[in-house]
Chains A and B, each alone.
Chain A
Amino acid sequence: MLRPALLAAALAAACPAHADDADLAALRAEVQKMKTDYETRIQTLEARLAHAEATAAANAAQPPAPAQDTANSAPSNPGAFNPEISLILQGGYAHLKDLPERRITGFLPNGTAPGTTRGFSVDDSELVLASNVDPYFRGYFNATLNDGTVGVEEAWFQTLALGQGLTVKGGRFRSGIGYQNEQHPHAWDFATNNLMYEALFGEGYGNDGLQLRWVAPTDLFTELGAEIGRGANFPGTDRNTNDIGNYALYGHIGGDVGDSHSWRGGVSYLSTRAVDRSGTLADFTGNDVATAFTGDSKTWLADFVWKWAPLGNTTIHNFKFAAEAFRREESGSLDCTGGMCGTSLGAYQATQYGGYAQGVYQFMPRWRAGYRYDLLDPGSQDFGLNNANLPRSNYKPTRHSLMVDYSPSEFSRFRLQYTKDKATEGQDENQWYVQYIFSLGTHGAHSF
């Protein structure tokens, strides 16, 4: 009906000169008829709508608002496109012996060993910005802030839409090796890092590079990952090169046992290279000498996590067990200057081991208690020519840590920790820590 009318109108408009009065009258009549037709139909529809509304109101005691309500209201908020922002505040009090420097006997220092501050202090505050960039990518930024220092801990993009279980991450990120490595200090179960990660990486292994992860389409969780990168961080060094600086490979499997138990285990391998990696060791006379290691560093890690909660309900009681172990092989040369060394270049060859095991039990809502045991084994260490200058020890560094924490909500936590620290030969120190961790803003999900 509409189409002939439009055609007529178009024709009428196109050739006004040829339209006589009779045609015009016919056209007017048709337009008028059309108008009345539509008005009638609109009225009918309005009546039907009113009827439907009345029926709906009568049916429901409290008529529900239209569906899609939330979907429609959300986008109207321009702030909704802002990134998720979260800020972690952490700090506390530490009661420690006054030691100029803390070393782990038998292990080459990572050069970044912070040495914990005595008394009251704030730890690094973490500022996190994260958001989906578009349907294809997610971006994440994590900076640590402290007096005069800003560190970019992580700054990466991650694919969302590759499918087939594949995810690519690029930028600066914490490596997927091991278990604790991807966790930032606020997510640790203890106030201090474990001895294994301290000896291996300082805090955790981060890198600038690319990561490829693949999750297999199986009931048993199976994840394989590969990373390449700059390799600038300990145990590697920055080497001013176009080459790939390091690579890492890892695999994890995991699953559930009944409703109450879940677990994950894995094996990782990290290969990196160092050139003139500087450190400080004591020679036979006890004087400090400067060392520079050049060579390959290859680390194997094994990790296992098991979590229990009655029927999977973590609110009242839950238990978490985590253990990791490593074997690191470093070979190359060690340049030693000062003290007994004078200036001497010797070979360096070391195969070393270590690990930790920890259990944390939530014994009532909000309260958890935990114990961690750290053990390192210096294994075989050979300084080549410098064996005459540098002592080698069979001392096995250990630490025992006990902690209790109280979390008024999932965004706040207070912790008391006691540590018996025997990381340095001849040292037996009782350490006390009181710690707070507050999480402001959209601090959503933590991994397993």
Chain B
Amino acid sequence: MKAFRLFVFLVAAWPIFAHAALNVFACEPEWGALATELGGDAVKVYTATTAFQDPHHIEARPSLIAQMRRAELAVCTGAELEIGWLPVLLRQAGNAAIQPGQPGYFEAARQVALLEKPAVLDRAQGDIHAAGNPHIQTDPRNIARVAQVLGARLAEIDPAHAAVYKTRLADFNTRWNAAMARWQAQAAPLKGMPIAVQHEGFPYLENWLGLKQVAVLEPKPGVAPSIGHLAEIVAQLKTTPAKVVIRAAYQDPRPSEWLAEHAGIPAVAMPFTVGGSDRAKDLFGLFDDSVAQLLKVAR
């Protein structure tokens, strides 16, 4: 009898357990972190990639299909960043809720204005993205914009927790605006600082902080530089010097380290996304660390 009562209770309570938290599939750590900020306990976030993986090149692993199968909301960058793997997950997961066009499919890059839209689409230009540069997460103003739409989307998909999402979004906005003001004040000395980048991954950061990009190590986006090409850049940096060469945490350190050694400038691995460094534990830490890393070399 006791067992029967327990069974009845479990059956009755099953929907509560089953729908305790909204399953969110985040393609990149920054969106996972944002969903956690906005959803708190109301969401269960699975982050498909880490800061040490190249989001252009991810294997469509069985584990990702299994997670996509149960997702109620997929939050991805879009702008073709995940074109090599996300379509496979969407097609193989058999999940109608997160197909493009459904409320459960959210593309962050659609919420902001993209930079570097190529005028000509030709693979001879390397790994370019037709919609523009997809690495939008390096500008906190973009995070703020995405947060507004994502907050609303969470409430739309999970109306039972709409109040939670509203409160958390308002709270996040307050903290984020305060943090942005702080970062902008701290980063004042960075305005106009010339930098070299390994991959065209930082236009939004440069735009935000007023950094001046004077060299890119990759001859074409996604094409690893040869020693000859790096030597040319060293020569070029003699006339237009850079203060630092930066790369994302996931990138091969060798090109920027080689350049750093030969051009006599520091090489810095930027966290690039949440989890990319010890300090970048969340979105706030990501920008705390990014600004701090750059300030260290600006002096």
Binding site for B on A (CB under 8 A): 60-62, 64-71, 74, 135, 138, 158, 160-167, 213-223, 252-256, 259, 262-264, 307, 309, 311-316, 365-366, 409-411, 444-448
Contacts and interface: CB of A to CB of B under 8 A. Distances in A.
A447 B53 contact: no
A314 B57 contact: yes
Interface of B: 49-50, 52-54, 57-63, 65-67, 69-70, 79, 83-88, 91-97, 99, 101, 109-114, 123, 126-127, 131-132, 141, 145, 149, 207, 210, 222-224, 250-252
Nearest to B82: A445
Nearest to A320: B59
Contact of B59 (A61, A311, A314): A314
Contacts, number: 152
A315 B62 contact: no
A255 B59 CA distance: 12
B114 A167 contact: no
Most buried by B among A70, A74, A264, A448: A70
A316 B85 CA distance: 18
A67 B252 contact: no
B62 A163 contact: no
Contact of B88 (A66, A366, A447): A447
Contacts of A253: 62
Given A71-B110, A254-B61, A215 B69 contact: yes
Contacts of A215: 65-66, 69, 92-94
Given A160-B99, A214-B94, A220-B66, A448 B59 contact: yes
A60 B127 CA distance: 30
Contacts of B113: 64-67, 69
Secondary structure type dominating chain A contacts: loop
Given A160-B99, A161-B96, A365-B252, A67 B111 contact: yes
B62 A221 contact: yes
Given A162-B94, A215-B94, A256-B61, A135 B66 contact: no
Contact of A446 (B49, B60, B127): B60
Nearest to A166: B94
A253 B66 CA distance: 10
Contact of A311 (B50, B57, B65, B86): B50
B62 A217 contact: no
Contacts of B94: 162-167, 213-215
B250 A221 contact: no
A311 B52 contact: yes
B224 A312 contact: no
A203 to B, nearest CB: 22
A220 B69 CA distance: 11
Contact of B91 (A160, A256, A264, A307): A160
Contact of A70 (B52, B53, B131, B222): B131
Contacts of A315: 54, 57, 250-252
A70 B66 contact: no
Nearest to B57: A314
A318 to B, nearest CB: 9
Given A69-B113, A307-B61, 12 more contacts: A65-B113, A67-B111, A163-B96, A213-B92, A219-B66, A312-B53, A313-B54, A314-B54, A315-B250, A315-B252, A446-B84, A448-B59
Given A70-B79, A215-B93, A311 B53 contact: yes
A264 B63 CA distance: 9
Q: Give 5 nearest A-B pairs by CB, closest first.
A: A254-B62, A221-B62, A163-B96, A65-B113, A221-B66
B66 A255 contact: yes
B99 A70 contact: no
Nearest to A409: B223
Contacts of B224: 365-366
A165 B62 contact: no
A162 B96 contact: yes
A262 B63 contact: yes
Given A163-B96, A315-B57, A444 B62 contact: no
